[in-house]
Structure 1
Amino acid sequence: MVQMAKSIPNRTKRPFVLAAVMLVMFIGAVEATIVATAMPAIIGDLGGFAHYSWVFSAYLLMNTITVLIYGKLSDLYGRKPILTIGVGIFLIGSFLCGLADSMEQLIIFRLIQGIGAGAVMPIATTIVGDIYTGEERAHVQGYLSSVWGISAIMGPAVGGLLVEYISWRWVFWVSIPLGLLSIIGVWLFLHETIEKKKPEIDYVGASLLTVAISSLMIILVEGGVRFSWFSPQVITLVIIAVSAFLLFILQEKRATEPMVPLEIWKLRPILIANLVSFTTGLMLIGISSFLPAYVQGVMEKSATIAGFALTAMSIGWPLASTAAGKLIIKIGYRSTSFIGGIFLVVGGGLFVTIVPSAGPIGAALSSFCVGVGMGLTSTSFIVLIQGSVDWKQRGITTATNMFMRNLGNTVGAALLGGILNGQILRYFAEHGGKTGQNLTLDSTNMLLTEEQRAGLSESVKILLQEGLSHSLHSVYIAVLMFGIISFFLVLLLPKKNKAVA
C-alpha cells in the first residue's frame, strides 16, 4: 500500500502545486462547456443528430468507469504517475477528436478522451486533500472553484469564437498545451514519499462495472428509439446489466483490494453525498448538453449567445463554492447543502417554465440558479468526505464521489437523450401530418445553423422548432424532478459530522 510521510507537505511547494492542479482541472472543466457550445456546429458539419447524445455518452461512459480505477491506483502508486498517465491519454484523445471526419469517428475518439479524463478531477482534488489540512480545505475549495468560473467565461466564449471564425476542431486541440504545462508543474513541485507493496488490482470488478454501465447506457439511449422497450434486445441488455451489477457487488465483498470498498458506503455522510452527486449529475448533463441546442435551434441565436446562456451556470458555481467555504465553517455542511438544494429546485423550475420569448437572459438566469445549487452542495460534499477518511482511502473516496456524479452524467446523457429523441419522433408523428412522415431525427440538424434554417419553408421550420421545444420541455421536467430528489436527500445529512484532518 502507498503511504505518504507527514513531512512531505513541507517539502512540497504548495502554491505552485495548487496552480498546476487548478490548470489540470481547468482542462477538464472547460471540456464540458466548450464542446457543448460547439456541438451544433459539429452536427452541422458532420451530420448525425441521432448520435448527438452519444458524443457525450461515449466520453462520460469511459470517464465514469475509469475514475474509480484511477482513484484506487493513486492510492497504490501515488498521485503523480497516475495523473500523468490519465492526462496523457486525455490529450491524445483530444488530438484525435479534432481530426474526426464523421460522427462515428468522433464518438470513438471521445471514448479515448474519456479514458484519460477519469484521472483529471478526482486525483487533482485528492492532491489538494493531501497537502492541505482539514480546516484549510474549505478555503482552498474556493480557489479550485474559481477554475469553473474561468472555464465558464473562457470555454463558451472561446468555443463560440473558434466555431464562428476558425473551426470547431480547435475546440479539442486548445487543451493540449495546457495539459502538458500542468503535468510539468505537478512533477516539479509535488513531492511524494511512497512505500510500495505488491498491489492487487480488482480487474474483475472493473470489467463487471464496465459491462453493467455500458449495457445500461445502451438501454437508455436506444430504448424506445431504435429498439422498443420490450424488444428482445432491450430485455437481454437489462438481464446483462442487472447480472453484471450483482456480480460486481459480490466481487467487491470478496476482493482483497476492491475497486470500491463497500465499508465507505456505510458512513452516512458519504452515502448521502454520493447519492446527491448522482442526482445533480443528472441535472448537470441535462442542462449543459441540450441548452445550446434550445438557444440556437428554437431561439435562433448564435453559438456565442448559446455559450453565454450556458456560462451563467458555471459562473454561479464558483461564486457559490467560494461562499460555501465560509458558510461551512459558520453554519456547517448540512445547512450549506440545504441552501444549495433550494437553488437546485428553483433552477429546475425556471427551466420547466422557460419559453422562447424569454430569450437567452431567461435561459441564463435558470442556468445561474442551478450553478449556485451545484456550487454549494458539491463543495460541502468534497470537504465532508475528505475529512471522513484517512490518506489511505482518500483517493478512492474522492473518486467514488466523482464516480457518482459521472454516473449521473452518463445515465443522464443516455436517459435524457432517449427522452429527447423519443419525444421528437412522437411530436412529428402526431402533429406533422404528411410533412412529419418525411422528417427524421436528423432533420433537426437544419435548425442548428443559420444557413440551413434559411433554406427551410416557414411551416417546416415551425414544426421542427415546436418539436424540439416540446421535447426539451420534457427533458427539463426530468431535470426538475432530479432537483427535488436532491433537496430531500440533503435533508437526510447528519446534523453533525465527526471528521479527520
Structure 2
Amino acid sequence: MDELSHKRKVTIMIGIIAAMFFSAINQTIVSTAMPRIIAQLGGMDYYTWVITIYMLTSTIATVLVGKLSDIYGRKPFILIGIVFFMIGAFLSGFSKDIFQMITYRGIQGIGAGIIMSSAFTAVGDLFAPRERGKWTGVMMAVFGFSSVLGPTLGGWIVDHMNWEWVFWIFLPLGIVAFILILMLFPKVPRKESESIDYWGSLFLTLTIVPLLLGFSWAGTKYDWGSEQIIGLFAAAVVFLILFIFAELKAKSPVLPLSLFRNDIVTISNLAGFLMNAGMMGALIYLPFFVQGVEGISPTYSGYVTMPMSISMVVISAFTGKWITKSGKYKRYAMLGLPIMIIGMVMMAYMSTIWVAVLAMIVFGLGLGFGMPVFSLTVQNAVRADQLGVVTASNQLFRNLGGTIGIAVMGTIMATSLKNNLVSKMQSGGGVDLSKVDPEIQKQLAEFQNPQMLLDQPKLEHLQTTLPADVQPLFTKMIDMLRSALADSLTTVFLSGAALLVVAIVLVAFLREIPLRTSNRLPEDAQKEGKKPQGGVSEPVVNRG
C-alpha cells in the first residue's frame, strides 16, 4: 500500500484505532459491571463461562483469521469483526438468562479476535517497519486508556442506568469505525495461488479448546490430577500431533511451522508468552491484597491499578516514537522487563496501599517500554505476505501465556495459602473456638476461609452481631488470615517476577535487525534490481 498518501493512511488508522478502542472498551467496561449483571440474570454457578467462552472464541478467531487475511486482505475481516462484535454486544443487552449471555459473549469474542488480529496486521500493510513503532505505541496506549476508562464507566452505568447500556453505549463508535474502514481501506485482490487449510484449521481449533479449558478449570473447577483435566490435556496433545502432520502436508498452512525456524519469531513469541504469564498471573491477585489484606472496598480498589494503566499509556506512546526515530527496539524490551521485575518485587513486599500504588506505576512504566516491541519484531522478520499469520502467532502465544499464567499462579496461591495457614496454626497463631457457643462456632468457621476476606459487608455484619467476649477472637482470626494471605501473595508475585527474569534471558538472545523503511525484505528488493532499504544485507526469514 505504498501508493497511498500519508494523509489517507492516517485517516485509515483513525478507523482502525476506533475499531480497536470499540473492542477494548467493551472488554474492560464489562469487568466491574458483570457481577451486578449476573446477580440480576441469575446463574452464578456459570459465571466463569461468561469469561471463558469469550477467551476461547477470541483466541481461535485470532489465529485462524491471520492466514485468511493474508489470502483475502485485511479489509473484509476488520469489517466482519466489527459486525460480529456489534451483533454480540447488541444481543448481550437483551439477555434474559445466563445461557443467553454466554452465547452472545461468545459471538463478541469472535468479533474481538478478528478485530485484534486484523488491526495489528493492517498497520504492517500500511507502514514500513520503521514507521510501525509509533503506531504500535499508539495502539498499546488505546488498550491502556480503555483499561482506565472502562471499569470506572462500567461501575457508573450499573449504578445509575440499566445494565444493558454497558453493551450498547459504544455501538455508535462501531458504526463510525465500520464506515471509515469501508470507505477508505483499499481492497486487496485475493491471492489465487493460496488455498484454505481446512484440516489445519480444524486441528488447531481442537488443540486450543481443550488446552485453554484445561488451564482455566485446573485447580478451580477440577483438581490438576483429575480425570477431566488430564483428559483435556491428553486431547490437546493428540490434536496437536494431528495438527503438525496436517501442516507438514498443507499447501498453504494456517500456521506455517517454518515460521518457528526463524529465531526472531520464536524468541519474540516465547518472550511475549512469559511476559503475559508473569503479568496476568500476578496482577489478577492484586485485588486480594487491596481488598483482602488492607480491607479496601472494591470501588476504591480499582483506583489502585489505575496508575499502572496511565503510566503504560504515556510511556508506550513515547516508546513507539523513539523506536521509529532510532530504528532500534531491543533496548526497550531490555529496559522494560527489569522495570517490570522491580515493580513485581515491590508488590511482593508491599505493606501499604501507597506502596501498592507506587508498584503499579513502576510496573506500568515497564509495560510501556516492553509491550510494543514483540509484535514489531516478528513483523519485521517476515515477508509482507506472512504478516497476518505471524501477527496471529504472536497474539496466540500472548493469550496462552495469560491463561496458563493465571492457572499456575492460582495453584501457587492455593498451595502457599494452605501451607501458611497450617504453619500459623502450629505456631500458636490459631484461634481456639472450643469454648465458644456452638452456633457462633459455625458462623466463625465459615470465615476461616481466607476468600471471605473479600466479602467485606459480610465480615462487618458478622462482627456487629457477635457478643463482646467473642470480638477479640474474631479480630485475632481475621488478623491471622490476613497475615497468611499476605505471605501467600508474596510467593505469587515473586513467582511472576521469576518468569519475567526468564523472559529477560530470552530477549538477551533476540537477534536485532534494523527496522526496514520498506515493506519488502532485502532479498525481494535485490530480485527486483533495487537497493535494499533499512541497512539489512541478509535474509531474515527461513522460508522453509
TM bucket, shorter chain:
0.7 to 0.9
Q: What is the one-letter code of the residue matched to 1:353?
A: Y
SS in 1 for 2:462: coil
Distance (whole Å) between structure 2 residues aligned to residue 92 and residue 207 of structure 1: 25
Identify the residue that residue 124 of structure 1 maps to in structure 2: 119
Compared CA separation, residues 240 and 414, structure 1 to 2 (3 A): same
Identify the residue that residue 456 of structure 1 maps to in structure 2: 462
Distance (whole Å) between structure 1 residues aligned to residue 112 and residue 59 of structure 2: 9
1:34 maps to 2:29: yes
Query: How much has 1:338 moved relative to structure 2?
Result: 0.3
Identify the residue that residue 322 of structure 1 maps to in structure 2: 317
Alignment partner of 2:493 out of 451, 476, 485: 476
Alignment partner of 2:349 out of 348, 353, 360: 353
Alignment TM-score, normalising by the size of structure 1: 0.85
Alignment partner of 1:220 out of 215, 227, 233: 215
Query: How much has 1:158 moved relative to structure 2?
Result: 1.5
8 Å CA contact retained: 2:336, 2:370: yes
SS in 2 for 1:200: coil
Distance (whole Å) between structure 2 residues aligned to residue 105 and residue 421 of structure 1: 32
1:67 maps to 2:84: no
Alignment partner of 1:487 out of 489, 501, 504: 504
Moved more, 60-69 or 299-308: 299-308
Identify the residue that residue 335 of structure 1 maps to in structure 2: 331
Distance (whole Å) between structure 2 residues aligned to residue 20 and residue 13 of structure 1: 11
1:406 maps to 2:399: yes
Query: Any stretches of 5+ residues in structure 2 without a counterpart?
Result: 434-440, 464-470, 520-544
Q: What is the one-letter code of the residue matched to 2:392?
A: A
Moved more, 107-116 or 293-302: 293-302
Q: Deviations over 1:180-225 (max 9, x none)?
A: 2211111122122324527532232233223323222333333344
Alignment partner of 2:202 out of 204, 207, 213: 207
Compared CA separation, residues 337 and 175, structure 1 to 2 (3 A): same
8 Å CA contact retained: 1:341, 1:490: no
Distance (whole Å) between structure 2 residues aligned to residue 451 and residue 185 of structure 1: 48
Structure showing greater relative contact order (alpha-carbon pairs closer than 8 Å, 6 or more residues apart)? 1
Q: What is the one-letter code of the residue matched to 2:202?
A: S
Compared CA separation, residues 455 and 334, structure 1 to 2 (3 A): same
Instruction: Report which of the two structures shows the higher radius of gyration computed on alpha carbons.
Output: 2
Distance (whole Å) between structure 2 residues aligned to residue 471 and residue 88 of structure 1: 44
Distance (whole Å) between structure 2 residues aligned to residue 482 and residue 160 of structure 1: 33
Q: Deviations over 1:445-466 (max 9, x none)?
A: 7835x64443233738667766
Q: Deviations over 1:367-410 (max 9, x none)?
A: 33332222222322233222222321111111211121112123
Query: How much has 1:228 moved relative to structure 2?
Result: 3.5
Distance (whole Å) between structure 2 residues aligned to residue 296 and residue 95 of structure 1: 33
Alignment TM-score, normalising by the size of structure 2: 0.79
8 Å CA contact retained: 1:63, 1:406: no
Alignment partner of 2:454 out of 447, 457, 465: 447
Moved more, 144-153 or 423-432: 423-432
Distance (whole Å) between structure 1 residues aligned to residue 515 and residue 242 of structure 2: 33
Identify the residue that residue 373 of structure 2 maps to in structure 1: 380
Distance (whole Å) between structure 2 residues aligned to residue 363 and residue 110 of structure 1: 33
Identify the residue that residue 177 of structure 1 maps to in structure 2: 172
Query: How much has 1:298 moved relative to structure 2?
Result: 4.2
Identify the residue that residue 259 of structure 1 maps to in structure 2: 254
8 Å CA contact retained: 1:95, 1:172: yes
SS in 2 for 1:119: helix
8 Å CA contact retained: 2:327, 2:514: no
Distance (whole Å) between structure 2 residues aligned to residue 167 and residue 293 of structure 1: 29
Q: What is the one-letter code of the residue matched to 1:56?
A: I
Distance (whole Å) between structure 1 residues aligned to residue 415 and residue 102 of structure 2: 21
Distance (whole Å) between structure 1 residues aligned to residue 45 and residue 356 of structure 2: 24
Compared CA separation, residues 168 and 316, structure 1 to 2 (3 A): farther
Q: Deviations over 1:397-432 (max 9, x none)?
A: 112111211121232344444555666778789778
Q: Percent identity?
A: 32
SS in 1 for 2:125: helix
Compared CA separation, residues 216 and 332, structure 1 to 2 (3 A): same
Distance (whole Å) between structure 1 residues aligned to residue 377 and residue 161 of structure 2: 44
Query: How much has 1:267 moved relative to structure 2?
Result: 1.8
Distance (whole Å) between structure 2 residues aligned to residue 453 and residue 177 of structure 1: 43
Moved more, 299-308 or 115-124: 299-308
Q: Deviations over 1:118-142 (max 9, x none)?
A: 1122211222221122322223333
Identify the residue that residue 89 of structure 1 maps to in structure 2: 84
Query: How much has 1:345 moved relative to structure 2?
Result: 1.1
Compared CA separation, residues 58 and 327, structure 1 to 2 (3 A): same
Compared CA separation, residues 88 and 445, structure 1 to 2 (3 A): farther
SS in 1 for 2:371: helix
Query: How much has 1:82 moved relative to structure 2?
Result: 0.9
Query: How much has 1:67 moved relative to structure 2?
Result: 0.5
| Superposed counterparts of 1:132-143, under 5 Å | 132-143=127-138
8 Å CA contact retained: 1:291, 1:306: no
Q: What is the one-letter code of the residue matched to 1:338?
A: M
Moved more, 382-391 or 169-178: 169-178
SS in 1 for 2:105: helix
Compared CA separation, residues 226 and 24, structure 1 to 2 (3 A): closer
Q: Deviations over 1:149-190 (max 9, x none)?
A: 432432233123224433555433333222222111111221
